[in-house]
Structure 1
Amino acid sequence: MRCTADVRRSHPHRAARLALPAALAAAALVLTGCTTDEPMPVPTEPAPSPTPFREVAPSGDGRLVIGTLLPTDGDTAGLAAAQIAAVEVAVRELNDNGGVLDEPVTVFHRNSGGEPGDQLEAAFADLVERGVDVVIGPFGDALVEQALPLAAEAGVALISTGATGELAGADEGFFARVVATDYLQGLTIGQAVVADGASSIAVIASDDAYGEAIADGVADAAAASDAASSTVVTVTASDTSAASTVADADAVIVATSVALADVTAGMLADLLDAGLSPASLWLASAAAADYSGSLDAGALEGARGALLGADADDEFVERLRFADPFLGGFRWAPEAYDAVLLAALAATVIGDDGGASIIAGLPQVAREGAPCTSYGECLQFLIDEPDAGLNYEGLSGPLGMRVDGDLDEAAFGLAVYTDENRPVRDGNLLTN
């Protein structure tokens, strides 16, 4: 029999881990043009087994509604535009594949403002009034911390693309992020330094949460190696003199926050003057800036740094430009796209679109299981291998999602400094 069909999935079922929900159990295809005389096989449900995942009560209404809460004006408006376009691309992909839980997905975009305040609170309230289940954003740590209690009260999930710090209230079961924490960045850099053969590692850290988190990650990487040790030197905006005292270490990692940007160049010059080879120098993301106008030519040539935010490949850029032809850049777009697909897959495997269910479902679709890279492919795996689990491999890199909503593996851009003291992306830096 030759047929043209749009076969939807329908079977009401909820379970803790990858038991097939309504969107998957009655049929195996959403397609146009098929030739078959055989009935479509109905996938069997996996036998229940104990899991370490969080279990929550269903709270959704069966229709996934997504919001974005990003700064659409001010200095970071360009970053918001790329993420909003990515969310639109992702939602279109969801709906082209039958939606989520047999229903089309809708999306609303709101302006968070650049700083915590009334703008964010009003925008969040408007999204809640429109019935959102999950919000992509806010972007920075301070904005997320303002939104967290609002999200917990409303039962709305937050998935941030840019909040990297330790956050008060992030453990309430309504928060996750698709960007590595500062600690994980430190761990990943530390692993790379140890792999290079360094036995003595010095971390020049700003006297703040960022510097402390990077230093803690490096220390854990060194301790795990049994072959390296780390020392931390703390600097402030008014006193960077201690930095030059560690120039004889096998590797020096500069972990100064943006607050010390004005003094970091001078500190680097002192380090190099004290005899540190650029090949032994690493710069964490906040310090991995362009120093072409502040250091002598060639001073940093060969130094390495970590970059946040994945590159958008040509195919994805084309999709983004279709959504917004006026985009001036694409940074953080892969992360926003991944956030939407993760939320949709989590709602699918749990069988519920409630905010708590989405966060609880994330480790079930981005950790261990069958690797998949698109919504349609992941859905097909749930049909073909219902007991194998899912491991969504995102555009932004590996997404080892923990129960607490943080990643335990990630990909950073690996920057190598040119003779012009500019960081140029040269591959990726992966957590081991």
Structure 2
Amino acid sequence: MGDILIISNYYPPEKGAAANRIEQLALKLHQNNYKVTVLCPLGNYPKGELFPEYKGKFSVTEKLQNITVKRLWIYPSVSKNILKRTLSVLSFSSVLFFYLLTKKTPNKIVIQSPPLLLSFISVLVLSLMRKKIILNVSDLWPLAAIELKALKKDSFSHHISLYFEQFIYSRATVIFGQSNEIITHIHSIFPKKECYLYRNFPDHQLAEIDFKSNENEPIKLFYAGLLGVAQGVYELCQNIELQNLNIELHIFGDGAEKLQIEDLIQQNPQKKIIFHGMLERQLLHEKLQSFDIAIVPLKTRIYGSVPSKIFEYTALGYPILYFGGGEGENIVREFNLGWVANVGNFGSLNSRLTEISGIGKSRIQTLKRQVFEVSEKQFNLDFQIKNLINKGVF
């Protein structure tokens, strides 16, 4: 079917939705007879420091599950300081700029956005080379940065970001949007741009699941993912009220809020929150087999954002307690995937938890099977990829 290059700021063994999303895309393209190469930074996320196997190296080429992965130098940082974060992205973008200018690349390129600077540099160079650019937009920047208060509206940085955003949309051949809201936003700027909905579906390849439950244990609610500003897990831990409920909250992950969360749990054992740290994906899934419900929070409603955890955990048979608003809320409601609490409203969240505590574990087991069946039928990655291939997108 030909060669495809994927440019991304994240790739396994890094953790998180972005790395998983790009890996799934690469593997599915390979399974459909494409020769896939991924261009990304040396592994460093989410800790913000180079993994031991990449320290002291400028570039590394690996073969992972038949995917050629070329990693280039980066100054890693996950600092909340926007200047340090920008420097980190700029460091990789600069190396990437010279790589694209001097190395032979395929005619078809998939570019992940955000980071906006990275996608701008990639689109700038590759559009001059008349490559077919498939832009994969997973979040709307700078709009999301404004909503998260990471960027000040009408600032110099905001106007630069708006220029980058419009440039990459205008020069892309085809655009994938992770949500209908993303596509609507892009069409509001470029009405005739060719866009396709591309959800972040997982590929667990499970024909059935052995649902485990112990009626004598509390209902096990869990969060598994990055502990960053956008997710608001620290604020969740501060405001969640489980003391008088038959529920306990388990947290798996790593990120900027990790130490705050650990301190809060240590000082407030009555809150019934257990922190497990970061686990490898396969180990995490094994650990979660006896758990009951996945909570998916966002600190604020972010236009265009649909957390991949909705698809990740319904594919494993977990009902969702969704606390993020927007299109994700609509998906949970439309497909009867669990419960919705109003984003940012902890009174609403705690009311939902009281409701869940009262229904009992046997009812949750039935709901788990229903959610798994819906996910198998509605959130199918193979069908999504083959549909795009048949339309000639790749």
Q: Structure 1 length as normaliser, TM-score?
A: 0.30
Work out which structure has the larger RCO, using CA pairs closer than 8 Å and 6 or more positions apart in sequence.
1
| TM-score (structure 2 length as normaliser) | 0.32
Q: Give the structure with the larger helix fraction.
A: 2
